[in-house]
Amino acid sequence: MNALAVIDPADQPIQLEVFSYVPTWASVHAVGDKSAMPLFRQGEVAVFENSTKRIPEHGKLYVVEYGGNPIAPGHRIISPRRTRLVQAHRHQTADREHWSFRSYAGPAHWHDGWYPDEYAMAEKVLGPVIGIYAPSGSIRP
């Protein structure tokens, strides 16, 4: 069974597989808030391919990892690493291209960027999202 959703009318539909178990080549990301709406609701679990540092593609979903907030050159606050489910986005202006990770949560969207290109984003990527974990075999009422 597959689930299909469109995040942005200009983007292609995102196709997700429904998994009743987590394959050995995959990992999971528990969605702890509403930042992954409309594809994932709070409490649902995304399945992503173990594929660190993959070069992201425009419009595709990824689980990315963040941690350690820079406060001054050469200094870092030690903070726990955290993950987020996001979409890679390419924005073309008249003179150049910009890249970012973004999520959807109502009128205000979380955004990380601008990156000069998709290669600069790869360091944060844990893997592409391929589906949703639904152990009962059913999904959403």
pTM of the model: 0.77
Q: Which of 19, 2, 5 is nearest to 87 (CA)?
A: 5
The answer to whether residue 125 sits within a structural domain is: yes
The answer to whether residue 58 sits within a structural domain is: yes
The answer to whether residue 88 sits within a structural domain is: no
The answer to whether residue 96 sits within a structural domain is: no
Q: Domain range spanning residue 25? A: 17-81+108-133
What percentage of the chain exceeds 90 in pLDDT?
32
The answer to whether residue 63 sits within a structural domain is: yes
Number of domains in the chain: 1
Distances (CA, A) of 87 to 77, 109, 133: 27, 11, 19
Helices (H), 1-118: none
The answer to whether residue 101 sits within a structural domain is: no
b/e per residue 45-57 (b: at least 16 CB within 10 A): bbbbbebeebebe
- Tokens matching residue 34: 């509403």
- Report CA dihedral (115, 37, 22, 18) to the nearest 10 degrees: -120
**pLDDT value of residue 125:** 94
pLDDT digits (tens, 9 = 90+) for 38-91: 788 888 999 999 999 999 999 899 999 876 555 555 555 555 668 888 889 888
Q: Which of 7, 72, 83, 62 is nearest to 39 (CA)?
A: 7
> What is the distance, to the nearest Å, from the Cα of residue 99 to the centroid of all Cα atoms in its chain?
14
The answer to whether residue 97 sits within a structural domain is: no
